[in-house]
Amino acid sequence: MRLFDGLRQEIVAWGKTEGMGWIFVLKTTIAALLAMGISMRLELGQPVTAMVTVYILMHPQTGMVLTKSLYRICGTLTGAFASLILLGLFAQERVLFLGGLAVWVGLCAAGASLYRNFKSYGFTLAGYTAAMICIPLVMQPTGFFDYAVNRVTEVMVGIICAGVVSEVVFPRSLGDSVIKTMEARYGQFAGAVRDMLSGNLAPLEVDRMHLRIVGAAVGLESQRSSLLMETSEIRAHDRRLRRLNSNFLAMSTTLHSLCQLMIRLRNEAAEAAATLTELYAPLARALAPTGEPDTGAEGALRTARRLDELLAVLPEQGEMIRHQYPDSGEKAGLDTETAMELFNRFVREMGGYMRTYAELTDTPRPDLSDSVRFDSRTDPALALLTGVRAMTVILLAAAFWIASAWPYGATAVMMAAITSTLFAPAADPALALKTGLYGVLVGFVAAFFCKFFVLTSLHGIGLLFAGMFPFLLVGPYLSLNPKLAVTGLGYSTMFCFTVSPANRMVYDPVQFLNFGSALTIGVAIGVVIFAAFVPVTGGWVKRRTARMLREQVEIVCSCKLSQLGSRFESGTRDLLQRIAARPNLRDVHDREILDWLFVVLEMGRAVIQLRQDAASIPLPQTVSTGVRDTIARIACFFGRPNAHNHSAAIQAAEQTIQAILSESVREGVSEEAAEVLRRMLTSLHLIRSTLLDEESILAAATSRSRRTTQGETSYAT
């Protein structure tokens, strides 16, 4: 019995780890074979279309599959309609038709790059569906209806098979994945809080932690948006999920501002630095009293209660610190006040995050006031550039077809259109295409061996399934590794296209080599163009990203305050998603973008807090004018970061600080007004400290000598 119990435990443990991956591999392969069998039974022209649809759609979580299916239907129908227009306008005019197709694919690639998640996926499908339908019919448009109906039907068969198998065979709820993601994120963040506040993390480790925060926020938003077709209860908590992500971003920004201020105090050997550091021990105990953070809804509530208890004693500890350094001077006093305000704010935000997390298990209540949304920020110029690249790929492939008069040149154009739109939204399309090309080459070899050495000896649909089964497992298995996911997709696509299973199999090595070579050439053209024509890893694109980061500060200086905090936090992180997906912190341009991110988050959050406090009470004329002037000077500086605008912003902040200090000692100031003025002082002091920080990117931007810490690269030349 002990042997069987141990074996059962091993099987259960394997099923929760490696087993889940193998279940996904088997589900994908079964769905692909089912789609192929149904297409052959219906005598559709290209069962391979249904198989490739399955491979593109399948995902470990059921909700992802169903949501992608919905957008694939919309994208496929849009692409079919576009193909009808193109063939109607340019029937039997190959050159004009290919020019129109290039424009359409370019527009779809631009849309795929501009939008996020499944809106992007819809643009992708609309682009390459038109190419798949149009290109074979350019010289014989009268066959459009039958051909289009066949292709759309094959896509629908693939969608249905992927959805049914994903929902029926060991379904995995996306809602459960969201909960696990949040639990893991909280545990990692609690550990990072302890390390960052204690000063144990090296500068590069701090940067990597912030990049993980960016990736976690964007990833959770992607999962949340995929809950549209999810059947679990988590879908009803959409507003709370948005608020949870917003809370997470807000407290991570506060943590960064606090850590930066403490680093400045330590560098200046400030007297209060050591005393302020003592506040971190009770916070660490509140987050993880046993060394590990509590998990689940009950654990989140316990943590929130401990944070509330800590928050209740912080005012008393603050008074003790103030009395401990009564004659420390204006700057030192403001340093202490600002640090305590940031610490209080972080504890409050952490408690709010815990309570929101605990509410995910409660019955959802309609709350129209809680309309937090995740803002996407994409440079339209970069999206347009992506469209131009895709258009260039199509035109180059078309020129190759026309110049060579190769009968399989049309296949190269079709593959170029597929890959250009499919990988346009990738963080680095050139790298994705190159990685996919590796899979295409391996799939080409595997397909040749399978088709001419395995399938030629087999007869009947059952043996056809058995012969292809082990080869079809390879692609989904590779996709389990995020670094090889595109390679797996390239392998599966190439294998299915070149084996081309049908009711009447054709075993023609010459045709096979021509067809496979055309597919490979189509991908290779995409690799060359996306890598050579203003690549996203180049300096110009990254300078554009840094410019858009600075624009975030300009936005918070002028936009309406309603939901401005969540829109600023999410939009700023979204801008960074490209280098968050593949960070190279030793690259001078990536380093510059990351440094601007830290400054923008710190400055933007301080400006928002200052504007909110200024709008909460009537202010004296001198203070009100000073606040407006400071905000205007900050916007001007981030619009054009130079020494003159930098000095003007510092001067405006210092004048406003003096105006508030004068107003604070005036008789008759109410407690509420005094508290608001105190918070405004801390915001202004944080702004001034950030502007004066000699270790930030602002030192390089204003032509000052910038100090670098170990592990950093200096670009202030």
pLDDT band at 524 (very low <50, low <70, confident <90, very high): very high
Q: What are phi and psi of 270, to 5 degrees?
A: -65, 140
Per the CB < 8 A criterion, the answer to whether 76 and 152 are in contact is yes
- Phi, psi of 317, rounded to the nearest 5 degrees: -65, -35
Lowest mean per-residue pLDDT among 125-139, 408-422, 450-464, 488-502: 125-139
Encode pLDDT of 492-502 as tens digits.
999 999 999 98
67 pLDDT more than 80: no
User: How large is the average pLDDT for residues 1-25?
Assistant: 67
Q: What is the pLDDT of residue 369?
A: 47
**The pair of three-digit structure tokens given for residue 374, joined into one six-digit string:** 């995740």
Question: What is the pLDDT, as a whole number, of residue 18?
Answer: 73
**Residue 366 pLDDT > 60:** no
pLDDT of residue 172: 75
- Asked if the model's pLDDT at residue 105 lies above 90, the reply is yes
Identify the residue with better confidence: 536 or 230: 536
> Quick one: which H or E segment has residue 473?
none
Residues 394-422: what's their mean pLDDT? 91
At 103 the pLDDT is 94
- Which of 39-43, 541-545, 641-645, 704-708 shows the lowest mean pLDDT across its residues? 704-708
138, 350, 392 from 93: Cα distances, Å: 8, 64, 19
Structure confidence by residue, pLDDT tens digits, 194-210: 666 666 666 667 667 77
Statement: residue 661 has pLDDT above 90: no
Mean pLDDT of 110-130: 85
Nearest to 502 by CA among 453, 476, 457, 468: 468
Q: What is the pLDDT of residues 287-327, one digit of tens each?
A: 877 777 777 778 888 888 888 888 888 888 777 776 766 55
Return the ∠ at Cα 432 (arms to 429 and 433), rounded to 5°: 85
Closest CA to 30 of 501, 476, 454: 476
Alpha carbon distance, N-terminus to C-terminus of the chain: 73
Residue 714 has pLDDT above 50, yes or no: no
pLDDT at 169 over 90: no
pLDDT at 498: 94
Confidence of residue 276 (pLDDT cuts 50, 70, 90): confident
pLDDT score at 10: 61
Residue 176: what pLDDT? 65
Q: Residue 451 has what DSSP assignment?
A: I
Is the predicted pLDDT of residue 174 greater than 70, yes or no?
Answer: no
CA distances from 485 to 418, 474, 496 (A): 17, 11, 17
Q: Which of 309-318, 389-398, 701-710 has the lowest mean pLDDT?
A: 701-710
Strands (E), 221-313: none
Name the amino acid, one letter, at 534: V
Crossing angle for the helix pair 62-89 and 47-57, nearest 10 degrees? Answer: 130
For the entire predicted model, the pTM comes to 0.81
Residue 581 clears pLDDT 70, i.e. is over it:
no
Question: Which helix or strand (DSSP H or E) is residue 618 part of?
Answer: none
Per cent of the chain over pLDDT 70 is 83
Q: Which residue has the higher pLDDT, 547 or 710?
A: 547
**pLDDT tens by residue, 662-692:** 887 776 678 888 888 888 988 998 898 888 8
CA 143 to chain centre: 42
Place of tokens 């227009």: 85
Residue from 24, 33, 116 nearest 471 by CA: 33
- The residue written with tokens 């968050």 in the block is 580
Return the exposure string of 93-130: e unless at least 16 CB atoms fall within 10 Å of the residue's CB, then b: eeeebbbbbbebbbbbbbbbbbbbbbbbbbbbbbbbbb
Residues 6+ apart with CB under 8 A from 651: 633
Per-residue confidence (pLDDT) for residue 16, from 0 to 100:
60
Instruction: Say yes or no to pLDDT of 121 above 70.
Output: yes
Residue 328, pLDDT > 60, answer no
Helix (H) or strand (E) holding 503: none
Between 21 and 294, the more confident residue is: 21
- The set of residues, in sequence order, having a beta carbon less than 8 Å from that of 482 and lying 6+ positions away, is none
Taking each helix axis as running N to C, give the angle between helix 117-134 and helix 62-89, from 0 to 180 degrees, rounded to the nearest 10: 40
State the Cα–Cα distance between residues 473 and 22, nearest whole angstrom.
Answer: 9
pLDDT tier for residue 430 given thresholds of 50, 70 and 90 = confident
More confident residue, 85 or 93: 85
CA distance 109 to 218: 21
Structure tokens at 342: 């940031």
Here the tokens at position 236 are: 């009803």
Residue bearing tokens 């189509």: 522
**How high is the mean pLDDT of the chain?**
82
Residue 649 has pLDDT above 50, yes or no: yes
pLDDT confidence bin for 370, thresholds 50/70/90: low
In single-letter form, the type of residue at position 166 comes to S
pLDDT of residue 710: 40
Of 225-229, 429-433, 591-595, 648-652, the range with the lowest mean pLDDT is 225-229
Has residue 285 got a pLDDT over 90?
no
Q: Which residue has the higher pLDDT, 46 or 370?
A: 46
Closest Cα partner for 51 from 70, 18, 29? 29
Q: Are 112 and 83 in contact (CB under 8 A)?
A: no
Mean pLDDT within 256-261: 82
Q: Which amino acid is at 248?
A: F
> Per mean pLDDT, which of 200-214, 268-282, 367-381, 672-686 is the most reliable?
672-686
Residue of 235 and 48 predicted with greater confidence: 48
**C-alpha torsion 219→224→228→234, nearest 10:** 140
In this structure, of 228-232, 347-351, 427-431, 523-527, the range with the lowest mean pLDDT score is 228-232
Nearest to 591 by CA among 601, 583, 599: 583
CA–CA gap between residue 134 and residue 137 (Å, rounded) = 5
> Element (H or E) spanning 699, and its range?
helix 697-701
User: Among 446, 500, 454, which Cα is nearest to 478's?
Assistant: 446
Average the pLDDT over 270-280 and give the result. 73
In one-letter notation, the amino acid at residue 326 is P
